[in-house]
Structure formats: C-alpha cells, structure tokens
Amino acid sequence: MFVLGITGGIGSGKSTVSRILEDRGLLVLDADEISRQVTAAGGKAVPVIAELFGPRAVLSDGSMNRKYVSGIVFEDKQGLDMLSSIVHKYVFAEMEERLGREREKGTKCVVLDVPIPVNKFVDLCNQIWVVTCDIDVRLARLEKRGMPKDEALRRIDMQMTDDEYCELGDFAIDNSWDLDELNSKVDKLIKEQLHERGIRI
C-alpha cells in the first residue's frame, strides 16, 4: 500500500489539496479530525492534558477546553510542544491502526493529512507533498476565516517555514493562486506519481 503524506503550514491550503485527492477517490486520514476525536469527551488524550495543564483544561462535558489550552500554548512554545507530543501520540496510534485495516483490505493508496510533519509521519509515508503559499495570501485566508492578523502571524511564526517543510517533502505545491491552478498541479502529480505506480483514481 502506498501512503501519501500531505503537509503544510496554516493557511497554505493543505486541507484543500487533501479534499481534491478525496474527490478523486482516495481515502484521506485527517490528523486534525482525529485530534478532535482524541480530545473530545471520553477521548484518550484528555486525562493526560488535564494532568499537564490543570482542571481548567477540561470542560464540564469531559472534552478539552480548546480556548483555554490554546491561550496557553500559543504564548508558550514549550507548552505547545508538550501538547503536540501528547496529541500526536494518540493521533498516530489511531492512524497506524486504520492503515493496518486498509492494508488488510488491499487498499492501494491512503493519504495522511498532517499539519506538523513529525518523525512518525515521515516514517509512515512513502512520499510527501508539501503545500506552500505566499505569506500575504495565507494571512488573507486566515483573516477571512475570522482570525485576527496578529494571531495569524503568531501561529505562522510558531510553525516551520516553507523551506523547512520542503526539506522534509518530496514535492512542493505552490498554492498562491486560484483553485483551478491548484487542481491542475495536483492532477499533474497524480498522473506522474500515482498513475505510474498503478494507482488509478
């Protein structure tokens, strides 16, 4: 089974590339979606997060208090690293379990959509596509989502640079333009990298 990784910084359009691949028929395992599951009420990561950040880190329904925890970690790099380490542990355990089931089913290709390309992600993937984007375009997208510019800049600064992402990836997709341009770039890579491996989608 061929495991294709998609990664990139906030506002780059990583999730849009994953949606294009999903629309073409590939199974996408979304790390953000899985992280929401493991930090929801009854989620495996919640007790560890409560132990680390205190009782206010958990809401009355038993889910992680995202607003409270985000307010801590996006002001504190060490706190962000600790939270990421906890969540990544449970996210990748779930991903590995799902990948195992897909291998048993004979699935030819699975996409892993992961915002932070930690070692575990790199190890699981046969190939990685990095989505990059002009900083001004990223800021405009994030502001359109309702994120204040100063918060968007702070979150971008906390992440890896495009160059650092690209060092880990096999191919880069510049998503600084429109959706038609992005579709064309993704379709080109599908033809060159997936079709050549017998993965028809």
The CATH number linked to 162 is: 3.40.50.300
Picking from 141, 201, 198, the residue whose alpha carbon sits closest to that of residue 175 is: 141
pLDDT band at 33 (very low <50, low <70, confident <90, very high): very high
Residue 189 is assigned to a structural domain of this protein: yes
Residue 180 is assigned to a structural domain of this protein: yes
Residue 35 is assigned to a structural domain of this protein: yes
Average of per-residue pLDDT values in the chain: 95
How many domains does the structure of the chain reveal?
1
**Higher pLDDT residue, 200 or 140?**
140
SS3 29: strand
Q: What is the pLDDT of residue 30?
A: 98
| pTM (predicted TM-score) | 0.92
> Structural domain of residue 84, as residue ranges?
2-195
Q: Is the pLDDT of residue 48 over 80?
A: yes
* 61-103 pLDDT tens trace: 999 999 999 888 877 888 888 998 999 999 999 999 999 999 9
Q: What is the mean pLDDT of residues 44-70?
A: 96
Please state, in angstroms and rounded to a whole number, the distance separating the CA atoms of residues 21 and 130. Answer: 14
Residue 173 is assigned to a structural domain of this protein: yes
pLDDT cut 70: percent of the chain above it: 100
Q: Is the pLDDT of residue 27 over 90?
A: yes
User: CB neighbours (10 Å) of residue 156?
Assistant: 18
Residue 112 is assigned to a structural domain of this protein: yes
Q: What is the mean pLDDT of residues 177-201?
A: 96
Residue 105 is assigned to a structural domain of this protein: yes
Q: What is the pLDDT of residue 81?
A: 87
Picking from 77, 57, 79, 76, the residue whose alpha carbon sits closest to that of residue 67 is: 57
Q: Is the pLDDT of residue 201 over 90?
A: no
Q: Is the pLDDT of residue 140 over 80?
A: yes
Q: What is the pLDDT of residue 169?
A: 96
Residue 201 is assigned to a structural domain of this protein: no
Residue 200 is assigned to a structural domain of this protein: no
Q: What is the pLDDT of residue 158?
A: 85
Q: What is the pLDDT of residue 73?
A: 86
Q: Cα angle vertex 26, ends 24, 31, to 5°?
A: 120
The two structure tokens encoding residue 180:
């038609």
The two structure tokens encoding residue 121:
């992600």
Q: What is the pLDDT of residue 77?
A: 80
Q: What is the pLDDT of residue 200?
A: 87
